[in-house]
Amino acid sequence: MDITYPIQSHSWELLSPTVCIKTMDKSAFLYGGSGIPKEICFFFEMTSDQPRREISLIHAGTTFTGSLEPDALDTRVRIFWRGGLDIIIKDYFPSELTRFQEDSPVEHPPLLRFTKGAEPDVFTIELISQELANNTPPVIPEDLEVAIARKEGETSTIVTTVRKRSQANRLAAIKYHGLECVVCGFNFEKFYGPLGQGFIEIHHVNPLHEKDGEREVDPVKDLVPVCSNCHRMLHRTHLTHITIPNILKK
């Protein structure tokens, strides 16, 4: 059977055979779980007529226990996360937790990203803050090497070109690709803990300065997440052969 992605159903979005996004709601925050619509259940290889089973949820290098359970009153499945992961979610998003507790609207609820592993019932999860993605500065220097110049003890001003980046494209790229550097695998949250939660830089595979004017950008094909060091290497302007495939060969 041919499947066309993405598949959207209620608060769930299936982006590919291995990536699924849950927009977190009151149930996810207060009860540590969520219903999975029947259109999405095949991602978890679970149906409502199957018995409950345990799953592993890996977050920032730590494995937590979860479960997939049939919903006796519906044709869907329910997923639950335990073992402290529910507490981490509440700690990472305290303002959203408060608003859900008060039944107040949450304008940009966090996202829970599931990546299916090679082993059955093992999923890597990432917590994505839509607020953090949307608050990224809309412009960045075209040439990272000359973004600012200073003498010791004396400042000097330079002029450099900037090009506008789409915050929506950035969020879409993070949803699809996740928060790990595609070059070296670095994960800010795994290394820095809560301080690094949700942080990653986004690289244009085809630099915007190579063409004048606006152009269409595909967040899946044209944007990739990279750590600060790898991003810097990719933008070393005098090394024009530096690309992601070339770095991966090293």
Domains of the chain: 7-128 (2.40.330.10), 132-249 (no CATH)
Structural tokens at position 145: 């090497």
R_g of the chain, CA atoms, integer Å: 20
Residue by residue, DSSP assigns 48-95 as TTSPPEEEEEEETTEEEEEEEEE-TTSSSEEEEE-TTHHHHHHHH-HH
Structural tokens at position 117: 């592993």
Over the stretch 45-94, which tens digit does the pLDDT of each residue have? 999 999 999 999 999 999 999 999 998 777 789 999 988 999 999 999 99
Over the stretch 136-176, which tens digit does the pLDDT of each residue have? 544 444 444 444 455 555 555 544 444 455 788 889 999 99
pTM passes above 0.85: no
